């Protein structure tokens, strides 16, 4: 088939949404001819370097940026969203012209993974797939008590922006015109249904490449020390304060807690560590090169990732691949990625209950090496079977066939 992808974020060798754009394109181009609409600003150099090393005649990139406001995205998050919206409008006119030449069979919006902003590719006269999209998750109200005033303002603005976005007539049009909407979490599924989507499927966006899986498998260390680790930007909604409180409550002798990353919550977390009396057991690392960070992950007992509104926890998949159990809250993307066989999903009714659940899980992992081993092995199997890009590419191509076939059947019934 001839497939049109909208991938605002797209770059090889990267994680998060940049990797989603690139890996989706790369994998489906093994089975179909693919045109990718993307920006020249971030990924073009990396894309062209990769294609020069590994040519793929089925893969075509179309770079563009809106005129006049082309570089506005550099001036903060609001400017970035404005640029993204206008880029989507521009993408429609580029796509319409391309469709007249190529005659695509299906169009697919891949990145950004954002349900409250429209994709005007849905206006093309071909089946349109939206997503996976996310962003419908919110921190449960009881957890706001731990937020600073500034963090509460952030959450209020985030919720307001989502509310207005969901009521954008073009976003609702996108939901209604989609042959299927793939969403990262059940929270987002509820919201896109309210926007008018007819067919919805929960389908996480995060996966790992074969090379990443091999590298992470090799990061496993025989270190027997009891050591927990949290990784990522130090933001209030990442919930690292809950992990630290749980570690203090667990009071496991001769254990450690490592925090990898940087961000605005660093000072508050350090103050919390001092208040809890666990300064000698907690080590803060700055942001490390990826290989070094993965080695640190592989030398720890388990990953603690108590995020409060994550569409998809990439670090959870990395930990599972490195045979590390994952401790998370039963919220958002991590709650879908992690199973009872691969880690602990703690009830998130209120902060005290969450801390208690995380502490109990830490004690169990510290005292039961057989459980650590079993969960680590189960995590590796889950990633290799489902969260790898080769499998994901095949699943997406099967979806294209199903959607196109359904359209043909419906056309025949109409006539």
Residue % of the chain over a pLDDT of 90: 75
Mean local confidence (pLDDT), 325-336: 93
**Whole-number Å distance between alpha carbons of 10 and 39:** 8
The Cα 69–Cα 62 span in angstroms is 19
Identical fold between 2-207+388-414 and 210-385: yes
Task: Give the fold, CATH level 3, of 210-385.
Answer: Rossmann fold (3.40.50)
- Please tell me the predicted confidence (pLDDT) of residue 81: 83
Q: What percentage of the chain exceeds 70 in pLDDT?
A: 95
pLDDT at 72: 62
Q: How far apart are CA 216 and CA 298, in angstroms?
A: 8
What residue spans define the domains of the chain?
Answer: 2-207+388-414, 210-385
- Tokens representing residue 340 in the block: 């009872």
Position 252 confidence tier, pLDDT thresholds 50, 70, 90: very high
Query: Pick the residue with more confidence: 16 or 171?
Result: 171
The predicted structure's pLDDT at residue 140? 94
Residue 101: pLDDT band by 50, 70, 90 thresholds?
very high
Q: What is the pLDDT of residues 44-100, one digit of tens each?
A: 889 999 999 999 999 999 999 887 665 665 656 777 788 888 999 999 999 999 999
Class level of CATH domain 2-207+388-414: alpha beta
Better-predicted residue by pLDDT, 353 or 409: 353
Mean pLDDT of 303-318: 90
């Amino acid at each position: 088939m001839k497939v049109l992808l909208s991938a605002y974020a797209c770059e090889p060798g990267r994680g998060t949404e940049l990797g989603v754009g690139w890996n989706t394109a790369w994998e489906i181009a093994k089975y179909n001819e693919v045109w990718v609409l993307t920006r020249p600003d971030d990924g073009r150099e990396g894309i062209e370097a990769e294609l020069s090393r590994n040519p793929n005649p089925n893969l075509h990139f179309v770079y563009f940026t809106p005129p006049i406001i082309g570089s506005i995205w550099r001036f903060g998050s609001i400017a970035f969203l404005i640029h993204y919206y206008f880029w989507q409008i521009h993408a429609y006119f580029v796509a319409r012209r391309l469709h007249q030449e190529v005659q695509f069979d299906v169009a697919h919006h891949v990145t950004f993974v954002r349900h409250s902003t429209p994709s005007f590719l849905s206006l093309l006269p071909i089946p349109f797939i939206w997503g996976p999209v996310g962003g419908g998750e919110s921190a449960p109200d009881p957890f706001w008590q731990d937020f600073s005033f500034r963090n509460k303002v952030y959450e209020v603005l985030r919720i307001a922006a989502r509310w207005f976005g969901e009521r954008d007539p073009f976003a609702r049009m996108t939901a209604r015109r989609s042959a299927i909407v793939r969403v990262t979490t059940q929270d987002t599924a509820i919201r896109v249904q309210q926007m008018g989507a007819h067919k919805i499927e929960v389908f996480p966006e995060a996966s790992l490449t074969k090379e990443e899986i091999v590298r992470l498998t090799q990061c496993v260390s025989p270190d027997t020390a009891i050591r927990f680790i949290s990784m990522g930007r130090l933001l209030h909604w990442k919930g690292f304060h809950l992990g630290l409180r749980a570690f203090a409550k667990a009071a496991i002798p001769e254990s450690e807690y490592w925090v990898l990353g940087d961000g605005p919550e660093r000072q508050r977390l350090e103050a919390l560590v001092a208040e809890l009396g666990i300064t000698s057991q907690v080590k803060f690392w700055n942001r490390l090169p990826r290989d070094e960070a993965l080695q640190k992950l592989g030398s720890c007992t388990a990953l603690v990732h108590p995020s409060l509104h994550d569409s998809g926890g990439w670090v959870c998949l990395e930990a599972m691949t490195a045979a590390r159990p994952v401790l998370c809250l039963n919220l958002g993307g991590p709650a879908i990625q992690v199973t009872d066989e691969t880690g602990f999903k703690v009830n998130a009714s209120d902060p005290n209950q969450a801390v208690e659940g995380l502490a109990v899980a830490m004690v169990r992992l510290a005292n039961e090496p057989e459980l650590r081993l079993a969960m680590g092995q189960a995590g590796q199997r889950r990633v290799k079977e489902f969260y790898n890009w080769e499998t994901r590419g095949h699943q997406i191509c099967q979806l294209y066939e199903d959607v196109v076939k359904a359209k043909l059947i419906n056309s025949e019934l109409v006539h």
